[in-house]
Amino acid sequence: MILPLRLEAVSFLDVIKPLSLELAAGPSTIILGANGAGKSVLMRLMHGLLPPSAGTITWSSNGRQAMVFQRPVMLRRSALDNVIYALRVAGVAAAERPAMDALKEVGLAELAHRPARVLSGGEQQRLALARAWALHPEVLFLDEPTASLDPSAAREIENIIRAFDAAGTKIVMATHNLGQARRLADEVIYLHQGRVLERTPVAEFFSKPATAEAAAFIKGELPWA
């Protein structure tokens, strides 16, 4: 197991103020916060795409983790080859079968041989999830995966995220969509101006938020302090 993930006194420029956090296997963690709160940066720090300005980030062991971005980048090749590429980079030699299985899982089997870049936004995001699915990651980071999708495409993405959860992958997702947080979260980390203001089970977060900022965010008021 690569979890728990420990962040100790981690900061990044002045976007993330020094914070300590531990993420354990199991519950789906949703990072909530307004635009500019530092959600994306925090996820990138955890995933290893950004080096922290200070502090340490430690995984318990080596293992697979994957990330799905708001706007997935598709390589100029077929949908199937995009998944195969991810598997090859991860060192899987016989990649074709698992790649096809992953496409089936997200409902893209019929489009396997289409060029990935001509797929619709929702299909591309499902393909990004297939690319992650094929790797069987222990942790999946999702950065606002439905922010640029219509509601029905967003629902499909949420269903796939649930399937990851059911398969034992730890979900860590950033969103500013409260409904989505309610539907998918077990626990909420509320981020405000680079600080973790709250970390609570989802029901508690919505029923009795502990801070005025979180309460205002839930009510839909942008908490400009």
Partner 1 sequence: MKDIFLDLRLWEIVALSLQVSLSAVVLATALGLPLGAAVAVGRFPGRHALIVLLNALMGLPPVVVGLVVYLLLSRAGPLGELGLLFTPAAMVVAQTVLITPIIAALTRQAIEDAWREYEEQLRSLGASRMSAALTLVWDTRFSLLTAVLAGLGRASAEVGAVMIVGGNIDGVTRVMTTTIALETSKGDLPLALGLGVVLIAMVLVINAAAMVIKEAAQRRYG
Residue with tokens 């976007």: 15
Element (H, E) at 199: strand 195-201
Under the binding rule (CB under 8 A), the answer on residue 120 touching partner 1 is no
Stretch that binds partner 1, among 12-20, 61-69, 169-177, 183-191 (CB under 8 A): 61-69
Among 30, 75, 57, smallest CA distance to 178 is for 30
Q: How far is the CB of 52 from partner 1 (least distance, A)?
A: 16
User: How far is C-alpha 183 from the chain's CA centre?
Assistant: 15
User: Considering only 5-13, 64-72, 153-161, 182-190, which stretch makes contact with partner 1 by CB under 8 A?
Assistant: 64-72
CA 31/CA 183 separation, integer angstroms: 13
Angstrom distance (rounded) from CA 182 to CA 167: 20
For residues 2 and 178, which CB has a smaller minimum distance to partner 1 in the complex?
Answer: 2
Give the count of residues interacting with partner 1 (CB under 8 A).
21
Query: Which residue lies nearer to partner 1 by CB, 44 or 170?
Result: 44
Q: Which of 37, 45, 67, 197 binds partner 1 (CB under 8 A)?
A: 67
Alpha-carbon radius of gyration of the chain? 18
Going by C-alpha positions, the residue among 151, 156, 158, 128 that lies closest to residue 67 is: 128
| Residue 206 binds partner 1, judged by CB under 8 A | no
Which position among 1, 9, 13, 118 is part of the footprint of partner 1 (CB under 8 A)? 118
- Pick the closest to residue 148 from 171, 125, 130, 126 (CA basis): 125
Least distance (Å) from partner 1 to the CB of residue 113? Answer: 12
Window 13 to 52, contacts with partner 1 (CB under 8 A)? 44, 47, 49
Instruction: Give the rounded distance of the alpha carbon of 33 from its chain centre.
Output: 14
Closer to partner 1 by CB, 116 or 161: give it.
116
* Distance separating alpha carbons of residues 221 and 60, to the nearest angstrom: 39
63 is a contact residue toward partner 1 (CB under 8 A): no
Q: Write down the residue that tokens 């990935």 correspond to.
A: 116
Q: Binder to partner 1 among 116, 140, 161, 185 (CB under 8 A)?
A: 116
**211 neighbors 190 (Cβ within 8 angstroms):** yes
Site for partner 1 in 68-87 (CB under 8 A): 69, 72-77, 85-86
Binding site for partner 1 (CB under 8 A): 44, 47, 49, 66-67, 69, 72-77, 85-86, 89-90, 115-118, 131
